[in-house]
Amino acid sequence: MSALAGKVAIVTGSGRGIGRQIALKLASAGASVVVNDLDDEPASETVSLIEAAGGRAMTCNGDVAAVDFGDRIVNAALEGLGGLEIIVNNAGYIWNTTIQRNTDEQWQAMLDVHATAPFRILRAAADHFRTTAKREIAEGNLVQRKVVNISSVSGTHGSATQVAYSAGKAAVVGMTHTLSKEWGRYGVNVNAVAFGFIETRLTQEFEGQPAEIEVHGRQFKVGFPADKAKVKYEGISLGRPGRAEEAAGAVYLLCLPEADFVTGQILVCDGGKI
């Protein structure tokens, strides 16, 4: 039997990159997945890939930082797919600058997407987790559930020009430790994965002008100049950046039944630091 057969998972930011690979990995193990992205097209592509492989998925698109989004995506899982056993808080983006140029808007945007959005989703799931666990305990059949929050080595160690992003990702670490203590009694494992240099559109190399992504109508420069990217590789024990599939693998490990006694941990997935 597939390791995650019968489970329902939410994966935010799963239309592209690492999030898409997480959704595909969980689906390949039997989970039904609620896919989310700001844009309909990439999310639909992820759903199509899952369904083409024989899996089950649906979309719940929109801004994870919207005030009502936590309730909306949790209800989508419960009503659309019939349950909720796995939450992966992955959605996010970068908006970097030195602190003297960091605006209040920039600071708040990074906290909203990286810290407040996961908080609201987990708060929305709390009643379902608690009431379902109490019923299962009374029946003698507690189901272990999983939360995997996505942090970053910028959140565990800091990174120049990323004061707002690092603060948001550090908040995820505190949230993870705290909820692992609150939710252990309900059979919920709460862990986080802190990524290092993973190949995505946010970290792509460029020559000349950087690439841009659009978030809420605003253009953000992303990626690294090729010469600076190679310097970053030199600080990685494995000598290269990680692939999105490898990043997804780290998340997958924490969703497996074999990790049922692992909680409150921050798994660093960075290829090793020299």
163-208 residue pLDDT tens: 999 999 999 999 999 999 999 999 999 999 999 999 886 665 656 6
Residue 106 host element (H or E): helix 104-111
Give the C-alpha separation, 247 to 88, whole Å: 13
Pairing mode of beta strands 145-152, 86-89:
parallel
Give the C-alpha separation, 28 to 249, whole Å: 12
Q: Is the pLDDT of residue 212 over 80?
A: no
The model carries a pTM of 0.92
What is residue 184's DSSP assignment? Answer: G
Give per-residue pLDDT as tens, 48-69: 999 999 999 999 999 999 999 9
- Output the pLDDT for position 229: 61
Give per-residue pLDDT as tens, 109-168: 999 999 999 999 999 999 999 999 999 999 999 999 999 999 999 999 999 989 999 999
Q: Identify the active-site residue in 165, 186, 233, 252.
A: 165
CA-CA distances (angstroms) from residue 132 to 31, 180, 191, 207?
A: 19, 17, 20, 53
- Output the pLDDT for position 214: 66
Considering all CA atoms of the chain, what is the largest pairwise distance in Å, rounded to the nearest integer? 63
- Output the pLDDT for position 223: 60
- Classify the phi-psi angles of 5: left when phi > 0, otherwise alpha if psi is within -120 to 50, otherwise beta: beta
* CATH 3.30.2270.10 is the classification of domain 8-197+242-269: no
Give the C-alpha separation, 115 to 92, whole Å: 10
Amino acid 31 reads A
Annotation says 165 is catalytic: yes
Q: Is the pLDDT of residue 230 over 80?
A: no
- Output the pLDDT for position 209: 64
Higher model confidence: residue 219 or residue 92? 92
Give the C-alpha separation, 165 to 141, whole Å: 40
Query: CA-based Rg of the chain, rounded to a whole angstrom?
Result: 18
Q: What is the mean pLDDT of the chain?
A: 93
Contacts of 260 (CB under 8 A, 6+ apart): 144, 189
| Other CB atoms within 10 A of residue 262 CB | 15
